[in-house]
Amino acid sequence: MTMNSIAQDHSKLGFIGIGAMGLRMAGRLINHGFPVTVFDRHADKAGALIKYGGTVAHSIAELASGADVVLSSLPNDAAVLGVYTGPQGVLDHIRRGSMIIEMSTVSPETSRELYRLGSACGVRVLDVPVSGSTPAAEQGLLTLLCGGDEESFNSAKAIFAAIGRQHFYLGPSGSGATMKLVVNTLLGVGMQAIAEAVAFGEKAGLDRQRLFDVLSKTAVIAPAHLGKLSKALVHDYRPEFAVGLMNKDFRLILETASTVHAPMPAAAAAFPINDAEFVDHPDYDFCAVIDRMEGLANINSARRKSQGETISSTK
């Protein structure tokens, strides 16, 4: 396979990591005509794609040895390195001249390390994290952020078009991962700002329903946050983008910012609220910080009322 020939009719894809996002992205690739072999350490997750035309590999080695392009969507840096390195990893079994498209949200340094390891094996590596939640993945509306060789990026556009609405080349290896952290800085800090604004408006006497309705119609609410308002209005915190994932991203953001000496006071202030919500409700959506701020505001009111009553009773 040459790098100019990734197409539905003859390029064999392997997809590792059939979680909430991986399931939907792999499914779209199958629906667009790509031959796709999948692997997940939970066999039942991989098996869910058989009815759509996917093939299940019994090991990473089996998947890697038969693929022209290996894609992955994994939860963290350790999982990525575990999948690609070691005697049972992708790099020990993938053919020279193949390509890796790593789509997890990980540190830029992990992306660059994978690129270095792939280059030593004669394999091209792109870091292509995605922006968007599970509904966007289902509908093919993700935004793809790519770092690596531009020639490889251009050769993979048929893949990108199957799973995303738009895709951008950002620069050398690690650039896609860096851009994802930039995007998720706004996502996480923006959600904390919304949570504070909502709690403030309620405590100042605004009707909750009207507050949410009007806020959702203003220009200050980003599209990524708009759907979260409708969920929070009815206290629906079922995960589309889990608070644990945002928690991991906050950590990556602050660690990377520290490395490059970028001041991040707003992100540093938002992170503890997200962290507390993650500890209490690890399976909630990240917009549950709205519920947390509403709860904190009510606690403060109750405490002040109790203090006021105590003072009155002692007079």
pLDDT at 304: 65
Residues of the chain with pLDDT under 50: 1-3, 311
HEC profile for the chain?
CCCCCCCCCCCCEEEECCCHHHHHHHHHHHHCCCCEEEECCCHHHHHCCHHHCCEECCCHHHHHHCCCEEEECCCCHHHHHHHHCCCCCHHHCCCCCCEEEECCCCCHHHHHHHHHHHHHCCCEEEECCEECCHHHHHHCCEEEEEECCHHHHHHCHHHHHHHEEEEEEEECCCHHHHHHHHHHHHHHHHHHHHHHHHHHHHHCCCCHHHHHHHHHCCCCCCHHHHHHHHHHHCCCCCCCCEHHHHHHHHHHHHHHHHHHCCCCHHHHHHHHHHHHHHHHCCCCEHHHHHHHHHHHHHHHHHHHHHHHHHHHHHC
Nearest in space to 57 (alpha carbons), one of 80, 41, 74, 33: 41
pLDDT at 3: 47
Q: What pLDDT, in 10s, does the model give residues 189-221?
A: 999 999 999 999 999 999 999 999 999 999 999
pLDDT at 299: 81
pLDDT at 64: 97
Please state whether the predicted TM-score (pTM) of the whole model is above 0.85. yes
203 catalytic residue (yes or no): no
Q: Considering 12, 45, 51, 180, which one is annotated as catalytic?
A: 180
- The structural domains of the chain, ordered by start, are 13-171 (3.40.50.720), 179-310 (1.10.1040.10)
pLDDT at 272: 98
Q: What pLDDT, in 10s, does the model give residues 25-79?
A: 999 999 999 999 999 999 999 999 999 999 999 999 999 999 999 999 999 999 9
pLDDT at 6: 74
